Chain A
Amino acid sequence: MTEISAYTCKDCGKRTHVRHSHCPACKGTSFDEAPLSGKAKLLTFTRVHALSLAYEDRHITLGIVEFEDGCRALGRLYVDDPRIGMELTAEIGTVRVHELEEVKGLCFK
């Protein structure tokens, strides 16, 4: 299973989910890698009806969240009535099954 990580810049402390060779804030080049999870706030979301791959679901909900330290990520949203600004918990789970293989990613609940 692929670990879902975040990268913290050793120079300025900025944390990003996307891995870069250079820190987007200070251009630093060394990072600490750690799993990404915990509490986050919902920034925006969409319920996707026209799906790109063979999902068993009729629709899926995707959202962008911001963790307490400002780190952002996109993931699958498992709440019935999503609202911008709501508090969520991020966990690693199965986000889809593709060619019989489970794809792991961020799930927000």
Chain B
Amino acid sequence: MLRDVYIAGCGMTGFGRAAGDLLDILEEAALAATEDAGIFSEIESVFVANMGAGILNHMSGLGSALVDRLCLYPTPAELVENGPASGGSAAKIGAYAVGSGAVDVALVVGGEKMRAVTGWEATDFVATLSHPQAEYIYGVTLPALAGMFARLYMEKYGITPEHLARVALKNHENGTKNPYAHIQQAVSLDGILNRPEAVVNNPWVAEPLRMFDCCPVSDGGAGLVLCSKEMAEKTGKPLVKISGIGQATDTHAVHEREDPIELKAVQLAAKKAFEEAGIKPSDVDVAELHDAFTILEIAESEQVGFFERGTGHIALEKGETSLGGKLPINPSGGLKARGHPVGATGVAQLVEIAWQLRGDAGERQVKNARTGFTCNFGGFGNNVLCFVLEREN
């Protein structure tokens, strides 16, 4: 990028079930971010991230719709769709707009209203991102792709159902400290795994994955005000810089990957983000990973470079990724507990890291966090965005 880009403001809606419609969600997230920044009329471009409005809410043209709600016209606006990585993509495009010098201030808002439809319709909607002839026609679901991935990953590295459950335990525990989380309730190993009634509480979704291995279906929105250094300094808030952005793609159909457990897009996106920031994975103090399924948090923690291959579950077991550990992962509760309104997630990850680096994360604050990382996983790993954020002052 030609110049540095900063997060001047951030905010989000409470994830879960929204009373209002999708436009209300986008408005609330936009106002939360702009009020936090104290910047509004200076916005020169608006990027809205959403995956399913056309299917779920019978709406399109969300960029124009949000600009109208905010009476921001004639400010340019568009919708960015990249599956569950839509939020990361909109943030990247917003950052490039500011970084290129084309605009000084960009508003990025991600939002989704998924609970407008039944559970099986939501599952079918997310499955539309799979390959139409080679996957979708068979009734593939995202949990099914994750289940086939988990079976191989678990067998290769000796990961047990208890390790997966421990991801859920940790993220649910973190969620109890996040007032914006969809699920703010802790779970126990007895409740979801060990006791006989656990099979009722925690039924199969796609073997070997159970309900508590999967994120919930959520409504919600998140927003960011991105700007130049001069503008960011005027907010009087700690300076949070976007110091690295990486994105990579992979085969549409999962079975076309040479080794189905290699998440090449994750590896490449992370590598590029770290290179651009000029730091190593070991320099990261706090990370938000895309735990749409518990196995993904473990796999990503290895494949972005935090832990050696096959040791992510051991770091988890030792508490290294818990709050208070060496590298807290998903202090927000992650997708597992904060929730996963698909178009909002990539933005929400950046909001959490910005709060952590500013010291605004309340009960779930990671002490002295100065460098943060996010991984936003689109498709089943076919389009991935990673960001490195750093606190400057």
Contact = CB atoms under 8 A, between A and B. Distances in A.
Nearest to B119: A50
Interface in B192-251: 203-209, 251
Contacts of A72: 255-256
Given A44-B151, A47-B207, A64-B148, A52 B134 contact: no
B137 A48 contact: no
Residue in B123, B131, B254, B255 whose Cβ sees the most chain A Cβ within 10 Å: B255
Contacts of A60: 139
Given A53-B124, A72-B255, A47 B204 contact: yes
Given A62-B140, A73-B134, A46 B147 contact: yes
Interface in A28-68: 43-55, 59-60, 62-64
B141 A48 contact: yes
Interface in B160-193: none
A105 B141 contact: no
Interface residues of B, number: 36
A62 B134 contact: no
Interface string A80-109: 000010000000000110000001011000
Contacts of B143: 48, 50
B342 interface: no
B116 to A, nearest CB: 17
Contacts of B206: 46-50
A26 interface: no
Contacts of B260: 43-44, 64
A18 interface: yes
Contacts of A55: 139
A50 B131 contact: no
Interface residues of A, number: 34
Contacts of A59: 204
A19 B131 CA distance: 11
Given A44-B260, A60-B139, A95-B137, A49 B203 contact: yes
Given A73-B134, A74-B140, A52 B203 contact: no
Contacts of B139: 48, 51-53, 55, 60, 62, 95-96
Contact of A45 (B119, B151, B203): B151
A64 B120 contact: no
A37 B151 CA distance: 25
Chain A contact surface mostly: strand
A55 B137 CA distance: 12
A55 B120 CA distance: 11
B134 A44 contact: no
Contact of B134 (A43, A45, A47, A74): A74
B66 interface: no
A16 interface: yes
B1 to A, nearest CB: 31
A91 B138 CA distance: 14
A95 B134 CA distance: 12
B391 interface: no
Contact of B144 (A16, A19, A48): A48
B124 A52 contact: yes
Residue in A51, A59, A84 whose Cβ sees the most chain B Cβ within 10 Å: A51
9 contacts: A18-B252, A43-B152, A43-B260, A51-B123, A52-B141, A62-B148, A72-B255, A74-B134, A95-B139
Interface of B: 119-120, 123-124, 127, 131, 133-135, 137-141, 143-144, 147-149, 151-152, 155, 203-209, 251-256, 260
Given A46-B208, A64-B148, 14 more contacts: A18-B134, A18-B252, A46-B147, A47-B204, A48-B147, A49-B205, A50-B119, A50-B204, A52-B120, A52-B124, A59-B204, A74-B254, A84-B152, A95-B139
**Shortest 9 CB-CB contacts between residues of A and residues of B:** A46-B147, A52-B124, A52-B123, A72-B255, A44-B148, A49-B204, A64-B255, A47-B207, A50-B205
